[in-house]
Structure 1
């Protein structure tokens, strides 16, 4: 839209706004409209919303341009906009959203009473005998005392079968087993003092919640590594 159309949008809310004021804010780097080949400014709705933020900060919060510029930079970097009113603070880092890739604490402790034979698990995951044996050798698949495999083993077997399509063999997956065992050992060491009875009644076992937080950390680190290789 043209600068005149921008002025028309903002006038009802900011009666004192003028073309010279908009151009001043542009000169200060607070809004950067595009320009046509002939040099005319063209404003998007995002530019209008940005101008509205600047004008509101000046009128209602009495913020100087330096503070407004810092707040706009924060918004551009994904921080959460401040609330309404004179006492509104500057943009703040948002609370992290719940990652759907991280299991809940309850799901880590509750599972189906699934008991599969070796043949059933191999068939379900599409694993040949050599690959299945290699997964057992490297500790990725472990049978219980009765020789059966549970629901988690089914998930491991399916993941291993899918990764094999990308050239990852069971020997390549051994570090995952090692890392998982170390993580479990660390969690058990941390939660041991919190288990058992406490003054005033029994404490809830925090193992599942601590494991969930560890998985959340691992997932966040992997995603961060993909974002910044």
Structure 2
């Protein structure tokens, strides 16, 4: 269950307006469970009718705790069950009517779409098929072909796609709704490759170390560096654009 914003001590009984929060606060609340969520994603879900925040006289969005929880449900169904938005909307409408909803099994190490853990390269790897990837990204065959031709997404050895490919597909699809085509994202891919190369230079000596604990630490270091790099990248873009969340 998500934590929602509340009034401070001594504020008395909260009114309905006191419980409404901005889209920036919603982003902070959701990112604890959904690190990849963005303001654009929230706005897109609004345009798709998945959530209907109130608007102030000046046009700013204001979300209730119920709106935040509904967004979390949408993101959870996408992440855990690879459901398209149309199906998610039907499920949420059914829940609001008090009906029981049967969700497909969550994708895990033992129920990957294309085989057993032994087939997919490790106990935590997940492999899904092309059809599932298209459903998760709400994209068509031509779009996926274009993403692959520009190197934005690549199938795993032996076929299928991992969870990271699903994340990339969803983000590329979101950008496509703003008119950004795969050819526009070549610079983004090139920048990501350069950042990955820089991280690899830092951890390479650790990976070659004779001590197995040091080699294991290399993976944690690479992950931490990647997370910091992503935050820096986002901060630099917002600084360059002068972006302010409403």
TM-score interval (norm. to shorter): 0.3 to 0.5
TM-score for the superposition, normalised by structure 1? 0.47
Compare CA radii of gyration and give the structure with the larger one.
1
TM-score for the superposition, normalised by structure 2? 0.44
